[in-house]
Every structure is written in structure tokens, then in C-alpha cells.
């Protein structure tokens, strides 16, 4: 079974600064997908970024980028130029690619507070 660990329960950052959220995972699979989702106070889960394990290039989406270290089984999220609207719970998630459907395994989450 896969496990996903987010070691930082809470973090805070000043507006306009950069913050990095950590995620590690444990799997024996070679091919898989990794995701970061954001859940603001509204509770709507929003996709932030997705990474395919077979791609060496780190995914980026505007101010969001990841540092994917496959050998270390690490998948951190960097948020640049933090904005007040980035305040949310952030969840790291893992999905196998064994042709058995789509099932996400989530980490425990990191609560990020962006301060003005």
C-alpha cells in the first residue's frame, strides 16, 4: 500500500514571499502520478499541479512549481509571490498507474496561512 506524508501540519508566509511545502511518499511502483490539491475555507478541493513520475522535468503552473525527486520519493510544492488567496489546506496525493482505475491516496495536509 502507498503512504503519503506531509510533515508540516501548519506553515505561514508573508505576502509576496516564497514558501515550500514538503511531501514524501512510499511506494514500490515505478510509474505513478503525484498531485497537489488546495482546499480553501470554502472546502472546495482545487487541483494545483500534477506530475507524472516518468517525466524528469518538474511541473510548473504559474506561481506554483514542484521539486520532484523520484529516488528520494519526495514531491515538494513551491509557491512564489504568495498571495492572500493562497491561504488554504494543501494536500499532496498519489495515484498508481496500474490500469486499475483512479484512486488518490492523500497526505494529512499542510495548513498554509499567508499573512499581509
Partner 1 sequence: KAGVTQTPRYLIKTRGQQVTLSCSPISGHRSVSWYQQTPGQGLQFLFEYFSETQRNKGNFPGRFSGRQFSNSRSEMNVSTLELGDSALYLCASSLAVGLSGDTQYFGPGTRLTVL
The reply to whether 62 sits near partner 1 by the rule CB under 8 A is no
* Among candidate residues 114, 115, 116, 100, the one with its CA nearest the CA of residue 38: 114
Q: Toward partner 1, which CB reaches closer, 13 or 45?
A: 45
Residues counted in the chain = 116
Place of cell 493562497: 86
The reply to whether 64 sits near partner 1 by the rule CB under 8 A is no
How crowded is the C-beta side of 81, counted as CA atoms within 13 Å?
4
Q: Toward partner 1, which CB reaches closer, 13 or 96?
A: 96
CB of 11 to partner 1, least distance (A): 17
Q: Toward partner 1, which CB reaches closer, 68 or 91?
A: 91
The reply to whether 71 sits near partner 1 by the rule CB under 8 A is no
54-86: string of b/e by CB count within 10 Å (b at 16+)?
Answer: eeeeebeeeebbbebeeeebebbbebeebeeeb
CB of 54 to partner 1, least distance (A): 11
Residues facing 55 on adjacent strands: none
Q: Toward partner 1, which CB reaches closer, 43 or 116?
A: 43
| Interface characters, 26-55, with partner 1 (x: CB under 8 A) | -------x-x-x----xxxxxx--x-x---
Amino acid at each position: 500500500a502507498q503512504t503519503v506524508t506531509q510533515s508540516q501540519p501548519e506553515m505561514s508566509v508573508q505576502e509576496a514571499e516564497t514558501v515550500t511545502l514538503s511531501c514524501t511518499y512510499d511506494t514500490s511502483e515505478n510509474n505513478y502520478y503525484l498531485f497537489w490539491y488546495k482546499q480553501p475555507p470554502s472546502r472546495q478541493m482545487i487541483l494545483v499541479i500534477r506530475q507524472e513520475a516518468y517525466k524528469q522535468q518538474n511541473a510548473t503552473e504559474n506561481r506554483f512549481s514542484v521539486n520532484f525527486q523520484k529516488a528520494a520519493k519526495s514531491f515538494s510544492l513551491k509557491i512564489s509571490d504568495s498571495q492572500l488567496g493562497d491561504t488554504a489546506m494543501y494536500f499532496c496525493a498519489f495515484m498508481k498507474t496500474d490500469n486499475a482505475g483512479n484512486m488518490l491516496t492523500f497526505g494529512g495536509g499542510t495548513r498554509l496561512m499567508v499573512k499581509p
